[in-house]
Structure 1
Amino acid sequence: MAREMCKVTVGLTVLALGLTGCAGGGDDASAAGSPRDGGTLRVIGSSDVGHLDPSAVASVGAYGLSRTFARTLLGTRASNDFQETIPVRPDIAERLPTRENGDIGKNRRTYTVRLREGVRWNTEPPRPVTAQDFVRGFKRLCNPASPSAGKGYFISTLKGMEEFCDGYTAVDARNAGAMAAYQRSHEIEGVRAKDDRTLVFELKQPASDFLNLLALPFTAAAPEEYDRYVPDSAEFRQNTLSNGPYQISEYKPGMSYLLTHNPVWRQESDPLRERHVEKIQITLGQDSPETVQQQIEQDAADLAWDQPVPTSAIPRLRDDPRFAIRETPSNSPYLVFNTLSPNNGGALGKREVRQALQYAVDRSALIKIVGGPAVAQPLHTVIPPGNSGYTPANRYPTHGESGDPAKCRELLGKTGHRGLTLKFPYRTNSIHKLIAQSIAENLDACGVKTELTADSGGSFYAGTISTPANARTGKWDIAAPGWTPDWYGNNGRSIIQPLFDGRGYGQNSTNYGGYNNPEVNALIDAALTAPEPAHAAGYWQQADQKIMEDAAIIPLLSRSHTIFHSSRVHGAYFLPTTASYDYTRIWL
């Protein structure tokens, strides 16, 4: 069994990433016999998703859940070979658009997508998923009640998306009828239904990653029934519909989900998913990763919902076939500064203060907390290894990765901002409390006090750090979120744009600290309009360098995902973008 983390070397022109599957047990694909249907897959963990509405999903857990009931035009296939998870494949689309088959126009700005037959909603009576359902899905990305964190991808790419979204901001976010009326009376120029089974997209300019965008979970089709509810409201969450293999039959907020068979789903209409277990029971509220691990090892549960394997358990699980270290090239966690905070005289809005704090963190301690060098490597760039635009760099080096509190103190003294006190909310699940405590100790050695506050995973993202009012009023100063790219391959956009484009800052933005630099914004535009992926990668690298010069965040770790399943589980295939096995392919 391979035990060391894969080493990744990516040049600017190499976008296929050169990654191989590594460090893996957990691959039961070759288990004797055919998959057996039936039984209940028991998933256990800590926090509810921040957003359940497919148009607003913004976390790896929500991505994995939405895959079971909300299908997209294109998608990716789960595999324990990282390379096999990268290619975009047809989902509801009949085929992959190419220039050769005529579905991508000669100007590379027009994309035609035809829907496959046999995909239906679980309505009474059942009805086909139509091109208009996808148009509705794109319109919902900009709703003012719970806008998609990914809307910026499409505002910068699709004709008319920016104008449609700008107009939508004036609509009452508490009025479902008003939002539905706006969507019915306004069109997005670059998204239209030619007929029930044909979609046509018009781009502002060629985008080499547009097919990747069509595979993102928040571009899922949306049935007309969704117009009845305020997006992602409590009422909406009790009325989700499904066109995938499972449907949400029971949802108790913060407590549990019960997924059962969608009776109208058919295997022949779905090339990416399967369906073997009878039910999927997701039980929430267990913050202790040790307790979760114990239950899975004892076959009292089957999979962890939102927690990697506890660090203390990794040494004894090395040779257990149920354990694996899976590649998820990611920036996880990183320390983000609230540049809008009025606290401490607005100190975090000053680049020199943020630069001084770069020297505070002891990454070697964090690596021990998450499981050692087989699980994580120190990270000093915004873009992690294994992603487009990555180039090794370390602008703020310290000896042995252990931090330099003396230099931090010295540089802070020069800024005139001694005696800082920083509000630091942290997630309660997994090892996030230990990570936050370690960083707080580092800051203390630098002369900076912290006020640590526990924040459940669901509210941490959806409420605390994604709400601009909380940033502007100084409800928090620093936080340690994580970021797994929305896709791999030609994916520079999936890191820099959502985290650092200041023009899209607003409710549900993943640019949590409100960072905004016109030079970085211009580099984003240059990358998006670059004729080839290799050219784009050069601009992403330049943006990375500028962001690190500004010290907008402190990158901490490039981390793989440790995962374990019960002895009942077979057919465990991993999806890096969900940091989990594909529920739809597991059998017991």
Structure 2
Amino acid sequence: MDRRDFLRAVGLAAGVSGAGALLAACNANERSGGGALTVSPGGTLRILYDGTSQRLDPARSQSLAITFSGLIHRRLTAWKTSADGPTTVVPDLATDTGRASADGKTWTFTLKDGLKMSDGTPITSAEIKYGIERSFDPAFAGGLGYHKTLLEGGTSYSGPFKSGDLASIETPDAKTIVFHLARPYGDWPWIVSMPAFAPVPKGKGTDATYDSSPVASGPYQVASYTKGVEIRLTRNPNWDPKTDVARTGLPDEVVMQLGQDTGVMSQRLLASGGDDAHAFGAAFVNPAQLAQIRTNPAAKDQLVTSKSGALAYLALNTRRGPLANPKVRQAFQYAVDKTAYQIATAGTADLAGPVATTLITEGIVGREVFDLYPAPPTGDVAKAKQLLAEAGYPDGIQNLDFPVSTANNYADKAQAIQAALRRAGIETKLRPLDDDAWQAVATGNDDNAYDLTLTSWQPDFPSANANIQPLFGTSEIGNNGYNISRYSVPEVDALIAQAQGTVDPAAAGKLWAQADRRILQDSPIVPLIYTRNSFLHGSKVGDFAIGEFPAYPNYLQMGLAK
């Protein structure tokens, strides 16, 4: 999974931005003159993207279910997004979202009738099993890999070409697929919405060329792929819209234009000349441009902003020096100035995103709103000093090591944090690192590599599981795991295991909310803000909306006006 503040969902540009005062997702397609833009079948939808390539091989993809690869590949389940409610899991190739055994370790799915791939191959349980098995081969690594440790025997399996059959995936007949998990896991219906669960015809995908010419199961197939230039998708003649609740498949073609300059991209979309009227930007609109756009009334119809997004947070190394003391870490909750962080992020508070007080992000089922450390957004310096004195540091703390990535403007954001902490007598030494070096320090095995650091996190799927376990499970410390606060509490690990093994979503949600509170009592991180993302689209692009989760537009629902 991607562990930064953006997801490699469709290669979205790194950055955090937003303009909450401009346009909320719920009225994204309201026109200035009133009413919604009416879309119809046909036309060519264009996607402007600043990257030079895309992973189209489902085994190698980290794409979210609602983004580019979802136009090409279907999975057992899909996501239904909403601007006024949580994202839900819905059947895709399967007839339902899965049937669990009483112990939550066995999941059974039945496929819909009459499904075919773009080359005419019938979609049976064998094609799905082969696609999943293929994702284990090291030659096709890089995709989202939750299933690799969840499937029984997965940790020692190396794919069909080296290890043969994976016994924990059974296909008793052409329409039935059964998964045997190593432990109970209630979020398995979300896992099977990930790219690796797309069908692959037996014998296909044996070399790297599959990454540019995969066999399609979605509404579009790859007609051409010129790296650095464009990817052109045309209709898959074997896609049946009556079987697909997640995709409208309205445009005749979809073209992703690669290697686009983000600044020029925004200008083109606002002008909406020619083909650009039928285009949208896959990159976030940067804060400097947002400040200009918000003064342009004509741009209102073309800008869509998420309500919130990734959790930006300050991680405190619970295994190092003074920060091993929970009371010291609690002092940080009051010492930070979240308003200053918002300004450092995007210039103004409303552009940056709302202040955060919980670990579970907005738009996730089961999230509860609470604040264990109530204070003004600018902080409570007196309270921070009081807690430091009670912890045995009446004169403050000196020389805390504060490595920070130079990517995504983190250096400027870290300076805002540093200045706020200084007010409470907490002195830090900023240590700028390029992103690869920062990743090595933050996710490496040395518990003494740093005192605190700054990052963000957005889940890979719409469950509190993906908020909590990767950041606070003991298993995620070191070895490139993202528990960078080095937080390890047996009670929390047990609560995580209990929640993961609970099949009923409502019951699981209560356990995750309990875990949220329990973890924050120990203050391993300071939640800062829920970052906002903003996107521009051309004047003829409709059904362009951002749901409560994730903070990206749903590519699968868009259409064009004539």
Q: What interval of TM-score do these two structures reach, taking the shorter chain for normalisation?
A: 0.7 to 0.9
Contact 1:97-1:112 at 8 Å conserved across structures: no
Matched, 1:26 2:29: yes
Q: Which residue of 2 aligns with 1:165?
A: 154
C-alpha displacement at 1:516, in angstroms?
3.5
C-alpha displacement at 1:448, in angstroms?
0.6
Q: Once the two structures are superposed, what CA deviation does each residue of 1:346-366 show, in whole Å capped at 9, x if it has no partner?
A: 776775665454444321123
Query: Paired residue for 2:176, among 198, 202, 222?
Result: 198
The residue type paired with residue 550 of structure 2 is T
C-alpha displacement at 1:48, in angstroms?
6.7
Cα distance in 2 between the residues matched to 1:59 and 1:127 = 24
Q: Which residue of 2 aligns with 1:128?
A: 122
Matched, 1:276 2:251: yes
Query: Paired residue for 2:341, among 359, 363, 366?
Result: 366
Query: Paired residue for 1:452, among 429, 432, 445?
Result: 432
Cα distance in 2 between the residues matched to 1:137 and 1:506 = 30
Judging changes above 3 Å, is the alpha-carbon distance between structure 1 residues 586 and 198 closer, same or farther for their aligned structure 2 residues?
same
Judging changes above 3 Å, is the alpha-carbon distance between structure 1 residues 444 and 217 closer, same or farther for their aligned structure 2 residues?
farther
Q: Any idea what SS the aligned residue of 1:89 has?
A: strand
Judging changes above 3 Å, is the alpha-carbon distance between structure 1 residues 73 and 549 closer, same or farther for their aligned structure 2 residues?
same
Matched, 1:439 2:439: no
C-alpha displacement at 1:333, in angstroms?
2.3
The residue type paired with residue 116 of structure 1 is K
Contact 2:37-2:542 at 8 Å conserved across structures: no
Query: Which residues of 2 match residues 241-260 of structure 1 at below 5 A?
Result: 241-248=215-222, 249-250=224-225, 252=227, 255=228, 257-260=230-233
C-alpha displacement at 1:214, in angstroms?
2.9
Q: Once the two structures are superposed, what CA deviation does each residue of 1:528-567 show, in whole Å capped at 9, x if it has no partner?
A: 3447444433322232123223333221113444333121
TM-score (ref. length: structure 1)? 0.73
Query: Which residues of 2 match residues 32-431 of structure 1 at below 5 A?
Result: 35-45=40-50, 53-55=57-59, 57-58=61-62, 64-79=67-82, 81-83=83-85, 86-93=87-94, 95-96=95-96, 111-122=107-118, 126-139=120-133, 146=141, 151=146, 155=149, 161=151, 163-168=152-157, 179-188=159-168, 191-202=169-180, 209-224=187-202, 228-229=206-207, 237-238=211-212, 240-248=214-222, 249-250=224-225, 252=227, 255=228, 257-261=230-234, 263-268=236-241, 269-273=243-247, 274-284=249-259, 286=261, 291-299=264-272, 301=276, 302-308=279-285, 310=287, 311-313=290-292, 315-316=294-295, 320-328=300-308, 330-337=309-316, 354-368=329-343, 369-370=345-346, 371-373=348-350, 376-402=353-379, 404=381, 407=385, 413=393, 418-428=398-408
Query: Paired residue for 1:525, among 483, 491, 497?
Result: 497
The residue type paired with residue 294 of structure 2 is P
Q: Any idea what SS the aligned residue of 1:546 has?
A: helix
The residue type paired with residue 231 of structure 2 is L
C-alpha displacement at 1:494, in angstroms?
2.9
The aligned length equals 521
Cα distance in 1 between the residues matched to 2:164 and 2:506 = 40
C-alpha displacement at 1:73, in angstroms?
0.9
The residue type paired with residue 455 of structure 2 is A
The residue type paired with residue 280 of structure 2 is L
The residue type paired with residue 582 of structure 1 is Y
C-alpha displacement at 1:208, in angstroms?
5.1
C-alpha displacement at 1:25, in angstroms?
3.0
Cα distance in 2 between the residues matched to 1:218 and 1:404 = 49
Q: Any idea what SS the aligned residue of 1:577 has?
A: coil
Cα distance in 1 between the residues matched to 2:551 and 2:229 = 19
Q: Any idea what SS the aligned residue of 2:520 has?
A: helix
C-alpha displacement at 1:115, in angstroms?
2.1
Q: Once the two structures are superposed, what CA deviation does each residue of 1:2-31 show, in whole Å capped at 9, x if it has no partner?
A: x978xxxxxxxxxxxxxxx86523358975
C-alpha displacement at 1:423, in angstroms?
1.7
Q: Any idea what SS the aligned residue of 2:535 has?
A: strand
Judging changes above 3 Å, is the alpha-carbon distance between structure 1 residues 257 and 109 closer, same or farther for their aligned structure 2 residues?
same
Say which is worse superposed, 402-411 or 265-274, in terms of deviation. Answer: 402-411
C-alpha displacement at 1:205, in angstroms?
7.5
C-alpha displacement at 1:271, in angstroms?
3.3
Q: Any idea what SS the aligned residue of 1:276 has?
A: coil
Q: Once the two structures are superposed, what CA deviation does each residue of 1:481-531 show, in whole Å capped at 9, x if it has no partner?
A: 2314612xxx33232123322325676645455543322110012223447
Cα distance in 2 between the residues matched to 1:414 and 1:54 = 55
Judging changes above 3 Å, is the alpha-carbon distance between structure 1 residues 537 and 235 closer, same or farther for their aligned structure 2 residues?
same
Cα distance in 2 between the residues matched to 1:23 and 1:395 = 30
Judging changes above 3 Å, is the alpha-carbon distance between structure 1 residues 142 and 505 closer, same or farther for their aligned structure 2 residues?
farther
Judging changes above 3 Å, is the alpha-carbon distance between structure 1 residues 547 and 206 closer, same or farther for their aligned structure 2 residues?
closer
The residue type paired with residue 283 of structure 1 is L
TM-score (ref. length: structure 2)? 0.76
Query: Paired residue for 1:496, among 452, 463, 468?
Result: 468
Say which is worse superposed, 547-556 or 468-477, in terms of deviation. Answer: 468-477
Which ranges of structure 2 fall in alignment gaps of 5 or more residues? 1-18
The residue type paired with residue 279 of structure 1 is V
The residue type paired with residue 554 of structure 1 is V
Contact 1:382-1:544 at 8 Å conserved across structures: yes
Cα distance in 2 between the residues matched to 1:279 and 1:451 = 44
Q: Any idea what SS the aligned residue of 2:68 has?
A: helix
Contact 2:233-2:255 at 8 Å conserved across structures: yes
C-alpha displacement at 1:381, in angstroms?
1.7
The residue type paired with residue 427 of structure 1 is A
Q: Any idea what SS the aligned residue of 2:469 has?
A: helix
C-alpha displacement at 1:72, in angstroms?
0.8
Q: Once the two structures are superposed, what CA deviation does each residue of 1:97-130 show, in whole Å capped at 9, x if it has no partner?
A: 57xxxx66678765432223454444xx542333
Which ranges of structure 1 fall in alignment gaps of 5 or more residues? 6-20, 172-178
Q: Which residue of 1 aligns with 2:526?
A: 554
Cα distance in 2 between the residues matched to 1:195 and 1:467 = 47
C-alpha displacement at 1:187, in angstroms?
1.9
Cα distance in 1 between the residues matched to 2:87 and 2:511 = 22
